[in-house]
């Protein structure tokens, strides 16, 4: 089939690479979000998908909105049979959905109908799911509600961050997307409507969602840290400043600390929670680079009984 691929971030690149490598399909063009400011200089930078497409000599379309008439005219001119999508980042209007004869097919990083929305992997980690996966489905006007072509499963490991899990799903999902294109092309694959039961939503996480509640059980604290890494980044308050929490570990045999109470040791620093202690392995103080928790604790000289999570950010 002639394809127009839509995607934007790094996580979409493995799927684009897999489609480019396929000998059954032609990636005629790529649709991606417009260049965005990045870095200290805030200069405009092309998306990872745009950069990869340019390297491969593929035409790149960057509409401000996918309903822009100039973009729609070019899409019609290309005449794709199907448009595979991975984390494009904009809602597709019906006028765009109607262009390819075989529709737009999204690779979504959950086992639908679970975790429909912008942050399925983060919510799977936050919820403590043991198994997640990826699904390919035909895009319709509803939120991730279209009929499903195929799925692949992936175990959620006890130490997985959202970044770890998403990286594995991006590669596993790329194979699923190519297989879906193959099945659509030869007629061997039919989309199956999603069940009405089991629908859960995965809205984008906010900075407020990523603040650790030390009164919660340690298991919940651990899930927030892992689920919010790398973005938006779990955090707490220490002496009126934000302290980013990059990696933590459960310490079930330490139950003597109050929620948020810090306990530094020679090579460790522990925090109390609503159940048992959590060890802070890696943290990032405001305005500084990531560092080991024990090194941070030595530098700030924690007073007896001092806590994290108390007070507002100054």
**220 membership: H or E segment, kind and range:** helix 218-227
Handedness of CA 91, 97, 99, 103 (dihedral sign): positive
Phi, psi torsion values for 62, nearest 5 degrees: -130, 65
Structure tokens at 293: 């928790």
111 is in an annotated binding site: yes
CA distance 193 to 296: 52
pTM for the model stands at: 0.94
Q: What is the pLDDT of residue 310?
A: 74
Q: What is the pLDDT of residue 39?
A: 81
Average pLDDT on 261-271 reads 96
113 is in an annotated binding site: yes
CA distances to 28, 91, 259 from 51, rounded to whole Å, are: 15, 22, 47
Strand-pair category, 104-108 with 269-271? unpaired
CA distance 108 to 144: 8
Which residues have C-beta within 8 Å of that of residue 12, sequence separation ≥ 6? 48, 49, 86, 87, 88, 170
CATH 3.40.50.170 domain extents, the chain = 2-202
**To which CATH superfamily is domain 207-300 assigned?**
Formyl transferase, C-terminal domain (3.10.25.10)
CATH 3.10.25.10 domain extents, the chain = 207-300
pLDDT band per the 50, 70, 90 thresholds, residue 145: very high
Tally Cβ neighbours within 10 Å of residue 193: 12
Residue 49 has pLDDT above 90, yes or no: yes
CA distance 22 to 19: 5
Residue 314 has pLDDT above 70, yes or no: no
Tally Cβ neighbours within 10 Å of residue 140: 15
Average pLDDT on 188-205 reads 97
Q: What is the pLDDT of residue 169?
A: 98
Handedness of CA 148, 51, 233, 255 (dihedral sign): positive
pLDDT band per the 50, 70, 90 thresholds, residue 160: very high
Strand-pair category, 26-31 with 2-7? parallel
Strand-pair category, 131-138 with 148-155? antiparallel
CA distance 160 to 302: 30
Average pLDDT on 94-109 reads 97
CA distance 132 to 54: 33
Q: How many helical (H) and strand (E) elements, i.e. helices and strands, does the chain have? A: 8, 15
Residue 143 has pLDDT above 80, yes or no: yes
The DSSP call for residue 206 is P
To the nearest 10°, report the CA torsion of 109, 106, 180, 31.
Answer: -120
What's the pLDDT tens digit per position in 123-138?
A: 999 999 999 999 999 9
Question: With contact defined as beta carbons under 8 Å apart, do 281 and 261 qualify?
Answer: no
Closest residue by Cα to residue 279 from 287, 271, 288: 271
275 is in an annotated binding site: no
Tally Cβ neighbours within 10 Å of residue 148: 19
State in words which class domain 2-202 has: alpha beta
Widest CA span in the chain = 70
Q: Which range is least confidently modeled, 224-238, 273-287, 298-312?
A: 298-312
Average pLDDT on 68-90 reads 97
């Amino acid at each position: 089939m002639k394809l127009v691929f839509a995607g934007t971030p790094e996580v979409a690149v493995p799927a684009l690479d897999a489609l480019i490598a396929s000998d059954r399909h032609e990636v005629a063009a790529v649709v991606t979000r417009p260049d965005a400011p990045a870095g200290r200089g805030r200069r405009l930078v092309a998306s990872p998908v745009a950069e990869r497409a340019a390297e491969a000599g593929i035409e790149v379309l960057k509409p401000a909105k996918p309903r822009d008439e100039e973009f729609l005219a070019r899409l019609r001119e290309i005449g794709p049979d199907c448009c595979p999508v991975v984390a494009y980042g904009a809602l597709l209007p019906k006028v765009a959905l109607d262009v390819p004869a075989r529709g737009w097919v999204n690779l979504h990083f959950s086992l639908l109908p679970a975790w429909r929305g912008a942050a399925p992997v983060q919510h799977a980690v936050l919820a403590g799911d043991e198994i997640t996966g990826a699904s390919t489905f035909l895009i319709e006007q509803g939120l991730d509600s279209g009929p499903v072509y195929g799925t692949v499963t992936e175990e959620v490991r006890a130490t997985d961050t959202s970044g770890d899990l998403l990286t594995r799903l991006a590669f596993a999902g790329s194979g699923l997307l190519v297989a879906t294109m193959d099945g659509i092309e030869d007629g061997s694959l039919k989309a199956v409507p999603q069940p009405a039961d089991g629908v859960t939503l995965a809205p984008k996480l906010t900075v407020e969602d990523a603040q650790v509640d030390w009164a919660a059980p340690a298991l919940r604290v651990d899930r927030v840290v892992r689920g919010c890494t790398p973005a938006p980044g779990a955090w707490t308050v220490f002496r009126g400043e934000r302290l980013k929490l990059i990696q933590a570990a459960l310490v079930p045999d330490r139950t003597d600390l109050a929620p948020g109470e810090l306990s530094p040791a020679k090579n460790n620093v522990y925090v109390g929670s609503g159940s048992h202690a959590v060890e802070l392995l890696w943290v990032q103080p405001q305005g500084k680079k990531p560092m080991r928790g024990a090194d941070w604790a030595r530098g700030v000289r924690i007073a007896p009984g001092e806590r994290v999570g108390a007070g507002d950010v100054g």
